[in-house]
Amino acid sequence: MKKHKKFKLKTWWLLIGLIPLLFLDATMLRMNHIKMTELRDAVLMADEEEDDEKTAKALEELKNYVFSEVVINVVDENGNYRIMFGTGPFYLEHQYLRAARAALEKAEAEMTSDENPNGNVYALASGVCRPLAIANGWSWDNANYINCMMSEIAKYPAADNIQDTITAKLPSTELYRKNYASPIFVPTVTGILIMLTFLVIVVIIIRIIIWIALRLSLLFL
């Protein structure tokens, strides 16, 4: 009666099999990154169009995708690049500028009232910045116009109280900062491939450690 030979999985087989696995991982992660970028760009485009309903819908689509897939992104933090899971921080700039303009107008209404002795300071700043806005095609919620107003107000005596009033009314930029984190593992094609690759690497490392340990033990026999 013939004996069946036991199947032995050789380490070099695993090393060869690891190459296409790594290629598949890189391909799937790149596809996920491209999809995430497209959805994020759709959010920024909707924000630029100043369509809040469209922006909210695009944000929901982006969030749902990132939460359900493994997405790796390279983020630039003041010249330092790091790899992270998710979208990385991005801002709804146009929503913020509209909210800032509304806050600025509210502060203007309060500071130019007859009861406020500093109202003329706001009017003087407006007199400088509004012609610049018209000449340069800035809208009243444009960052350049808002920065001009803040800069001009700061030039006048006793402007600290006015600036404090405006600053207190301006919305926090953190309310318009988005950063969706992706899970490290989800049971999708990408997640399963990454997990399989991780297991193969662990098996290879264990086998190499065992091989080294056996060779060292033979030296001392």
Q: How confident is the model at residue 1 (pLDDT cuts 50, 70, 90)?
A: very low
Asked if 154 contacts 84 with a C-beta cutoff of 8 angstroms, the reply is: no
Give the amino acid at 221.
Answer: L
Most confident of 10-14, 173-177, 214-218: 173-177
The residue extents of the domains of the chain are 17-89+179-211, 94-175
Choose among 108, 98, 103, 119: nearest CA to 169. Answer: 103
Residue 108 has pLDDT above 70, yes or no: no
Query: Which pLDDT tens digit goes with each residue over 131-178?
Result: 888 888 776 667 788 788 878 777 765 555 555 556 656 777 788 888
Asked if 161 contacts 65 with a C-beta cutoff of 8 angstroms, the reply is: no
B/e letters for 35-71, b = 16+ CB within 10 Å, e = fewer, are: ebeebbebbbebbeeeeeeebeebbeebeebbeebbb
The answer to whether the predicted template modeling score (pTM) of the entire model surpasses 0.75 is no
Residue 210 has pLDDT above 60, yes or no: yes
Q: What is the pLDDT of residue 110?
A: 61
Choose among 201, 94, 80: nearest CA to 143. Answer: 94
Both tokens of 216, joined, read 């060292």
Say what percent of the chain tops pLDDT 70: 79
More confident residue, 113 or 220: 220
Q: How confident is the model at residue 61 (pLDDT cuts 50, 70, 90)?
A: very high
Residue 45 has pLDDT above 50, yes or no: yes
